[in-house]
């Protein structure tokens, strides 16, 4: 953690990048108040938690921000190359109709394949390496080609192919293992799991009642399941006990103009459904670039179900009946993702019994 008052070479490297981004007037080896303000602005622009301090996630994002498309040759390496230049490349390939997968800033096999397809289409050497010749060809075509929304169309086609039934869906539930809420989130996950299994859904939990996998292990687990949806369950905490409310988070970056279409849709549905069923304060949905949201292949949503530091929210979360309400609302929100418009119902009114009538199971 790098914070105000710290000094050294790491601060110099960080402030060099912040200077190149136009966020501070000049590089420095001291973490001043100006640097803290610049870090907050950077965190806000990147969909990170705004603290003014540099934790591991912020430091990694600042490292990625060093690179602009054309600064270096991009190719598949181990570990994978990552940076803003990769994200820009992925965004532009998508705009032109190619499919490098999610805009995650990692130069992996899918991005390499997409580059090869682009190279073949423009008649340059087909090697999957994004060097000067490929970048120049990309820039030239970007002036004349305007893309639609191929990523959105692919997401819609995938949902339509899978159909409206829940019986063939795979859902991963990721209950937080933070010590102050681990029991609550695991119990909630089990309540959701039982309801989904009864509807024919394949359900996986990222942890047991006693285990505490790392964020990287949770991401790897979810990616190995070929999930349709990943739901991470948590409760927030803040030094001021007045902070309260329910918020949902999905993957998105204003900087690169991208977001998870399905993730945003589900975040909106579940936020409305749970607010309609509870007395929790609505603190809305938010696009973030946290690794759990960015690196998990399936659409992923993180739910912060109240604040454990708020007496009222904590009391509600401690009530098993309240957790039943949350579980019911979440299951209904999942089905709303796949119902056609004529089968849908007013938010907060659909019951699990209604789902069976919508043809969930044969």
- Nearest-angstrom CA–CA distance, 218 and 174: 8
Q: Across the strands, what pairs with 251?
A: 288
Within 10 Å of residue 212's Cβ, how many Cβ atoms?
13
Q: Are residues 217 and 335 in the same domain?
A: yes
pLDDT the model gives residue 344: 47
Q: Domain end: 100, 115, 147, which one?
A: 147
Residues 236 and 141 in one domain: no
Low-confidence ranges of the chain (pLDDT < 70): 142-165, 338-362
Query: Residue 84 burial by CB count (10 A; 0-12/13-18/19+): exposed, middle or buried?
Result: buried
Same domain membership, residue 331 and residue 233: yes
In a domain, 241, yes or no: yes
In a domain, 74, yes or no: no
CATH code of the domain in which 290 resides = 3.40.630.40
Q: Tell whether omega for the bond before 79 is within 30 degrees of 0, i.e. cis.
A: yes
Q: Which domain holds residue 33?
A: 9-64
Same domain for 118 and 232, yes or no, is no
Does residue 229 sit in the same domain as residue 204?
yes
pLDDT at residue 341 in the model: 42
pLDDT per residue over 64-90, tens digit each? 999 999 999 999 999 999 999 999 999
pLDDT at 252: 86
Residue 362 inside a domain? The answer is: no
pLDDT in tens, 104-146: 899 999 999 999 999 988 888 999 999 998 998 888 776 554 4
Separation CA 139–CA 129 (nearest Å): 16
Same domain, 171 and 299: yes
Neighbouring-strand partners of residue 54: 2
**SS (HEC) of 265-299:** HHHHHHHHHHHHHCCCCEEEEEEECCHHHHHCCCC
Which residues contact residue 287 at a Cβ distance below 8 angstroms, ignoring those fewer than 6 apart?
47, 249, 250, 251, 252, 253, 254, 259, 264
| pTM (predicted TM-score) | 0.73
Strands 202-205 and 170-175: parallel
Buried b (16+ CB within 10 A) or exposed e, 173-204: bbbbbeeebbebbbbbbbbbbebbeebebbbb
CA dihedral 254, 258, 263, 265 (to 10 degrees): 80
- The first and second tokens of residue 168, run together, are 């063939």
Euclidean distance between CA atoms 308 and 245, whole angstroms: 10
Within a domain: 69: no
Q: Which two tokens stand for residue 149?
A: 């929304």
CATH code, domain with 28: 1.10.101
Dist CA 326 CA 317 (whole Å): 9
Across 310-346, b (16+ Cβ under 10 Å) vs e yields: beebbebbeeeebbeebbbbbbbbbbbbbbeeebeee
Q: Does residue 20 sit within a domain? A: yes
Rounded-to-integer distance, Cα 171 and Cα 196, Å:
9
Considering the domain architecture, whether residues 295 and 230 belong to the same structural domain is answered as: yes
Residue 176 lies in a domain: yes
The candidate with the shortest Cα–Cα distance to 108, out of 135, 80, 148, is: 80
If asked whether residues 233 and 138 sit together in one domain, one would say no
Beta bridge partners, 204, equal 172
**Looking at the domain assignment, is residue 171 inside a domain?**
yes
Beta bridge partners of 194: none
| Domain CATH number, residue 104 | 1.10.101.10
Number of domains in the chain: 3
Q: Are residues 106 and 23 in the same domain?
A: no
Nearest to 297, CA basis, from 83, 145, 106: 106
| Structural domain ending residue among the three candidates 123, 147, 171 | 147
Domain check: are 196 and 342 in the same one? Answer: yes
Phi, psi dihedrals of residue 193, rounded to the nearest 5°: -55, -45
Both 60 and 203 in a single domain?
Answer: no
Whether 271 maps to a domain, the answer reads yes
> Could you tell me if 203 and 278 lie in one domain?
yes
């Amino acid at each position: 953690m790098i914070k105000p008052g710290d000094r050294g070479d790491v601060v110099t490297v960080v402030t060099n990048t912040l200077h190149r981004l136009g966020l501070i007037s000049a590089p420095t080896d001291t973490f001043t108040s100006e640097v803290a303000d610049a870090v907050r602005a950077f965190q806000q622009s990147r969909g990170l938690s705004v603290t003014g301090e540099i934790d591991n996630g912020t430091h990694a994002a600042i490292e990625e921000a060093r690179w602009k498309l054309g600064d270096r040759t991009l190719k598949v390496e181990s570990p994978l190359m990552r940076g803003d230049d990769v994200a820009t490349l992925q965004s532009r390939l998508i705009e032109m109709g190619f499919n490098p997968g999610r805009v995650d800033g990692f130069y992996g096999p899918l991005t390499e394949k997409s580059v090869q397809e682009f190279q073949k289409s423009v008649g340059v050497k087909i090697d999957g390496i994004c060097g000067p010749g490929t970048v120049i060809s990309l820039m030239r075509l970007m002036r004349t080609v305007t893309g639609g929304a191929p990523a959105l169309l692919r997401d819609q086609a995938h949902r339509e192919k899978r159909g409206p039934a829940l019986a063939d869906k795979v859902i991963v539930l990721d209950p937080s293992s933070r010590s102050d809420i681990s029991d609550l989130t695991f119990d909630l996950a089990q309540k959701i799991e039982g309801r989904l299994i009864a509807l024919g859904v394949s359900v996986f939990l990222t942890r047991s009642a006693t285990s505490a996998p790392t964020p990287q292990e949770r991401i790897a687990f979810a990616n190995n399941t070929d999930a349709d949806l990943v739901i991470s369950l948590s409760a927030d905490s803040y030094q001021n006990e007045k902070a309260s409310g329910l918020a949902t988070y999905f993957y998105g970056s204003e900087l690169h103009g991208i977001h998870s279409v399905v993730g945003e849709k589900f975040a909106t549905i579940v936020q409305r459904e749970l607010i309609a069923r509870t007395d929790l304060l609505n603190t809305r949905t938010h696009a973030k670039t946290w690794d759990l949201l960015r690196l998990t292949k399936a659409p992923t949503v993180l739910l912060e179900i109240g604040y454990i530091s708020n007496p009222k929210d904590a009391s509600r979360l401690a009530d098993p009946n309240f957790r039943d309400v949350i579980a019911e609302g979440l299951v209904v929100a999942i089905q709303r993702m796949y119902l056609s418009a004529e089968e849908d119902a007013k938010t907060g009114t659909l019951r699990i019994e209604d789902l069976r009538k919508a043809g969930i199971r044969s």
